[in-house]
Amino acid sequence: MVAPLRLLAVHAHPDDESSKGAATMARYASEGIDVLVCTCTGGERGSILNPKMDRPDVLENLTEIRRQEMDKAREILGVRQSFLGFVDSGLPEDESEPLPEGCFAVQPLETAAAPLVAAVRAFRPHVIITYDDDGGYPHPDHIMTNKVSVEAFEAAGDPDRYPGLGEPWQPLKLYYHMGFTRARFEALHEAMNDRGIGSPYADWISRWEDRPQKWEVTTRVHCGDFFEARDLALLAHATQVDPDGSWFVCPRELQQEVWPTEDYHLARSLVDTEIPEKDLFAGIQADDASPARR
């Protein structure tokens, strides 16, 4: 029997997996691909963004509640999930404010990357998905997540690096999430206006005026049939997601019609593939990956 293909998604906090690439993961999991989410921190310093959950009992037990939410989201998406054990860095209001001692974003790179290297060697993914080098947005934990993901991709297959963390394994492709692009939001904005639905995206679009897109979209994964699973996984993170908030203003059916894909940038590839792609595993066979550096 041929072993299944394997996909590793690396995220900063619980809930990030449900707002970035969730439908992709649900689709691949439904097709028999083994999907693992590695969550770098426990989200301990996250703000409560759902007014209905802004209660003293929730604040007192936020760490455990966020783990429970993650477990619900994981079950909805049909994936596996593991916490890497670091502490949330928080998002300072003032960039000059120092980050908390011992948090994820202030760790030396090799310290921060070591648990992910071990996870890569144990899980043996063919593909890794993560954030771009700006973190998708400039949260210090998101930026560090990119750094450790790139480090693990480059180092996990090298037997001379990170000794004692398992047998070397070289992933074949590394992708950055590209879900929050101007083109996508302009398309949704126009479609909502055409149908007489009030669009919340005008302000978002205006912020892109002086921000050219850094990475091109190379890969569009059709996963509109799994947008419902994505939304349910988001709602499982009840402390972070307001069911009456902007995440759900655009009707799901309209999203499925106008933009039925989740989009990515192919940042590294050790296999031949043709751009544009429709599949994160384009160019890969299940037995292609080597346990040693190519």
Which uninterrupted H or E stretch holds 221?
A: strand 219-222
Distances (CA, A) of 7 to 12, 129, 260: 17, 8, 21
Q: Retrieve residue 66's tokens.
A: 């966020």
Distance set, CA 141 to CA 25, 87, 105 (Å): 22, 10, 5
Is 126 marked as a binding-site residue? no
Tell me the C-alpha distance between 37 and 292, whole Å.
23
Asked whether the beta carbons of 266 and 210 are under 8 A apart, the reply is: no
Q: Please compute, for residue 105, the number of CA atoms within 13 A of its CA located in the half-sphere on the CB side.
A: 19
The answer to whether 142 is a known ligand-binding residue is yes
Residue from 230, 261, 234, 233 nearest 245 by CA: 234
From 292, 267, 272, 293, select the one nearest 283 (Cα to Cα): 272
Residues in the chain: 294
DSSP H or E stretch at residue 40: strand 34-41
34 known member of a binding site: no
- Could you say which DSSP state residue 27 is in? H
Binding residues: 13, 16, 142
Binding residues for Zn(2+): 13, 16, 142
